Amino acid sequence: MSSTAYTRPSKPPGPAGERRPPRLAKELGRIEPKKLGIGLVAGCCLALLTYISFARLFAIYSPVFESTSLVMKNAPPGSTQQNPVMPKQQNKLEDEKDIGEDETGRKEPSFPEATEKKETVTKSSGDETEATISCDENGVDEGFPYARPPVCELTGDIRISPKEKTMFFVNPSGAGPFDANGEKKIRPYARKDDFLLPGVVEVTMKSVSSPAVAPACTRVHNVPAVVFSVAGYTDNFFHDNTDVMIPLFLTTSHLAGEVQFLITNFKPWWVHKFTPLLKKLSNYEVINFDEDNEVHCFRRGHLGLYRDRDLIISPHPTRNPRNYSMVDYNRFLRRAFGLPRDSPAVLGEKTGVKPKMLLIERKGTRKLLNLRDVVALCEELGFAVTVAEAGMDVRGFAEKVNAADVLLAVHGAGLTNQIFLPTGAVLVQIVPWGKMDWMATNFYGQPARDMRLRYVEYYVSEEETTLKDKYPRDHYVFKNPMAIHAQGWPALAEIVMKQDVMVNVTRFKPFLLKALDELQE
């Protein structure tokens, strides 16, 4: 089964049955639109079938991406266009189970039972707030290769002393998930990854028997606290979203700004970069947990953030009880950045509007070598094309993306910018050689569907990759790309992630027509 899928050549979109011809394409008068249809969806199902065997291999991926300097560095990045980092699998998957994808190829996440222990610990005398602590610690995501990190929620008398890296919790009975010293330690970064976690500041929750043995409050807050870390793969735009902003949105957006953030592994440039989003979620100045000397008192607090999958969030009784979707996240981003467009341009004879395409350029790895030819083709088909590369100015780039009807890029973190597209716009992903179906689908394809974008994917053939200049055609790179995956992440990073692509414009054209067609649905 898997061999069928990974030797699968890219197919142009299949025949469409009775679909009406695309109006715009006709009106442009240059092209005879091909019949377009459901081939991509079928292809996607095929891709997901390979996941069963792929998941087994996933276990050996190391999370080191390209260079370890990406990790933990505190300096601003030179570029935000690196690829998502593959985390190491924490728990071996049950490969044969959970193949419950529907016809779109989506794997429904399953909800592990009994993930939450809620304990009403005690009533603190003379105090109206009940002391409770509940921790969600069994974040295994059946059917997905990584587990979620623990998150704890507390109510009662909570005193946060950043200097001691401690949340004191007045808890006369001592009950709760504490060790013999009355402590529980968590590294509150929202990606469970053994490689990263040592670099994340460890925060201790300390159960104390009375207020007398807790430090005295120097500042009292009337809103809940949320303590989290921005250490890790942040500065890669994919991870900025998957490991911090989406978890923060899931955990706090219902509080409508009435929440105090305390950030560990504080990176001033990062906080500055994401200030418009942080301000939308919290009405209060962020507290730098690494340097603050106060004792902050709260009646409620979170240590850590809830997370789901990467750019995928699904309803869940504890993790996402308000059933937020990626569409909600996109709307939040548009409001935070003041992005005007909620839907793509209306095309057609009357408006005479040209569809706008933004082509995200990668200048490091996975370059599109014949970018000019591709731009020329797109223009020939009627697109108004802009080529750009994202940088430190998130809002500026978000505006460019939001102005587009179609976003086109080679696989990489730049595709994360789809979060700024108007709902209903089209994402076109060019997937390089090397059996990258799982990553293409789970990092960008399924998220696009969840954001109610239209999604078109183009798998390059062996003729279209620079790997053909490095390896003979009978090499396993071409004959059996899964063998690269089997060697682990370093081989994948070195071989697959570093290729450039030269798209065959004849072969690519039907996919662009498909994108045009989608805009007119």
Could you list the residues that contact ligand NAG (CB under 6 A)? 315, 322-323, 463, 504, 506-507
Our CB check for ligand NAG shows the closer of 233 and 511 to be 511
Our CB check for ligand NAG shows the closer of 8 and 395 to be 8
Our CB check for ligand NAG shows the closer of 2 and 504 to be 504
How far from 111 is each of 80, 87, 114, 248, 345, CA to CA, in Å? Answer: 33, 21, 9, 20, 38
Percentages helix, strand, coil for the chain (3-state, rounded to 5) are 30, 20, 50
* Angle, helix 371-380 to helix 505-519, in steps of 10 degrees: 50
Cα gap 58→89, rounded to integer Å: 7
Cα gap 358→389, rounded to integer Å: 10
**Residue written as token pair 């005690």:** 122
For residue 501, what are the β-bridge partners? 368, 465
**Residue written as token pair 């569809």:** 355
Our CB check for ligand NAG shows the closer of 112 and 177 to be 112
- Got the DSSP string for 294-360? S-EEEEEEEES----SSS----BTTTBTT---HHHHHHHHHHHHT---SSPPPPSTTT-PPPEEEEE
Our CB check for ligand NAG shows the closer of 74 and 323 to be 323
Cα gap 158→131, rounded to integer Å: 9
Neighbours of 4 (CB within 10 A): 10
Q: Report, in Å, the least distance between residue 464 CB and ligand NAG.
A: 8
Q: Report, in Å, the least distance between residue 317 CB and ligand NAG.
A: 8
Our CB check for ligand NAG shows the closer of 315 and 391 to be 315
Q: Report, in Å, the least distance between residue 84 CB and ligand NAG.
A: 27
Q: Report, in Å, the least distance between residue 505 CB and ligand NAG.
A: 8
Q: Is 84 helix (H, G, I), strand (E, B) or coil?
A: coil
Q: Is 511 helix (H, G, I), strand (E, B) or coil?
A: helix
Q: Which residues contact 112 (CB under 8 A, 6 or more apart)?
A: 138, 139, 140, 141, 142
Q: Report, in Å, the least distance between residue 460 CB and ligand NAG.
A: 11
Q: Report, in Å, the least distance between residue 226 CB and ligand NAG.
A: 21
Q: What distance lies between CA 170 and its chain's CA centroid?
A: 36
Our CB check for ligand NAG shows the closer of 55 and 460 to be 460
Our CB check for ligand NAG shows the closer of 423 and 504 to be 504
Our CB check for ligand NAG shows the closer of 268 and 317 to be 317
Q: Report, in Å, the least distance between residue 459 CB and ligand NAG.
A: 13
Amino acid at 89: Q
Our CB check for ligand NAG shows the closer of 34 and 299 to be 34
* Angle, helix 394-402 to helix 326-337, in steps of 10 degrees: 110
Q: Report, in Å, the least distance between residue 314 CB and ligand NAG.
A: 8
Cα gap 236→319, rounded to integer Å: 24
- Got the DSSP string for 419-472? GGSPTT-EEEEEEPSSS-HHHIIIIIIHHHHHTT-EEEEEE--GGGBTHHHHS-
Q: Report, in Å, the least distance between residue 102 CB and ligand NAG.
A: 15
Task: Evaluate whether 407 touches 456 at the Cβ level (below 8 Å).
Answer: no
Task: Evaluate whether 167 touches 221 at the Cβ level (below 8 Å).
Answer: no
Q: Report, in Å, the least distance between residue 326 CB and ligand NAG.
A: 15
Our CB check for ligand NAG shows the closer of 238 and 324 to be 324
Q: Report, in Å, the least distance between residue 279 CB and ligand NAG.
A: 26
For residue 358, what are the β-bridge partners? 386, 407
Q: Report, in Å, the least distance between residue 341 CB and ligand NAG.
A: 27
Our CB check for ligand NAG shows the closer of 284 and 471 to be 471
How far from 327 is each of 119, 179, 424, 451, 484, CA to CA, in Å? Answer: 34, 41, 11, 5, 35
